[in-house]
Amino acid sequence: MSETTLLDNGIKIITEQVPHLLSASLGVWVGRGSRDEEGKKSGISHFIEHMLFKGTKKRSALDIAREIDSVGGVLNAFTSKEHTCFYTKVLSSDIELGIELLADIYLNSLFHEKELNKERMVILQEINMVEDTPDDLIHDLFTKNLWQGHPLGNPILGTAPDISSVTRDALVSCYEEFYLKSPVLITVAGNVRHKDIVNMINGVLGGVEYKGSERNLSEPLPYFGVHVEEKELEQVHLCLGLPSLSRSHSQRYVMHLLNTILGGGMSSRLFQEIREKRGLAYSVFSYLNSFIDTGALTIYAGTGNDSYGDVFKVAIDELIRFKDEIVEDSELHRAKEQLKGNLLLGLESSDSKMVKLAKDDMYHKRHVSPEEIIEKIEAVSAEDIKMLADDIIRLERLTVVLLGKADALVIDKVLPLKQ
């Protein structure tokens, strides 16, 4: 059971006590991410995340690393499209140290010019690594083409020109806007007591003059069509997708089941048809990208230079199948069991529970219990999936991205047959 406290300065604290765990995980969540970089250089949120670990008024970067290592803990961060989180996982007895470390880097990071320039090089290498990894790059290219001209389509890491030219003043200005004027949420899960956590956090952050401001998000409009990114590769990497549902949409459980049946595992339709029956790909799957106000259902496959047309046709056939046929009871039952198992297995650690507390609050404004999720999954019928498919799966709204030695005409020859 979760408990919530709102500090006088507006910081929200949500905890879940799990007595049988030895660990505790704490995350500081800032309600800003790469989609909030409109008018700013792309990747600046991620750059700030890196700089928070590069020294404070009282600790060097090495001091920070040594303190968390000395208790066998984890101190890290990540940036997403819609939020930034920096977090720690430690033994429950060391949670006060974890809180103090996170508060220090949150409030007192120095953004030294020397450290900034070194970290700039690290991020540029990170960008280069993605560029050299086509099965990662294809997903950035897909979102770039789906949400053209909108920050939601920008890579979280940013682009090399933007990262190369960002200044310390720009970083500090964005930090102050995103971190000190944005909603801040702190979630904690593990063998801890809510009252103790609130007292510890209030002791280090309660005196901060918090100036939370409402988010102003622009509407992302999808763009459709076939896009080819030519590159000398041994394979063609293919992403195709359709606009889907937002993170909190009432039909989200139906959407999750459709995705699971389509390409959510080794027994999925795509895996069986493309890999097992035809041997056309090693890696093939589908996934959902869901945000506050929109989403996308995406299919990925890496295949041969002479077989991407065949893979694309099978993917289209499997999408259309949801509109033409009712899912059989046995297939729907397997998908439900898979989703429920994934949920429960994913909540066995303190860090996964900590993340769920945050996402429940950010996207649903309340705690959503595993029991409620299971009940909603069980309530989905085959007819629900058919109705959603009729609404979502419209090939005139398809975005297709090919990476490698590919020709858009191969795709165009398939699509008219299914319009």
Contact between 116 and 44 (Cβ < 8 Å): no
How far is the C-alpha of 55 from the C-alpha of 319, rounded, in Å? Answer: 50
The answer to whether residue 126 is catalytic is no
Evaluated on CA atoms 376, 377, 379, 384, the torsion sign reads positive
How far is the C-alpha of 68 from the C-alpha of 190, rounded, in Å? Answer: 18
Contact between 48 and 167 (Cβ < 8 Å): no
- The first and second tokens of residue 14, run together, are 């949500």
Beta strands 281-290 and 12-17 are unpaired
Catalytic position from the list 37, 49, 115, 273: 49
Contact between 41 and 166 (Cβ < 8 Å): yes
- Residues marked as catalytic: 49
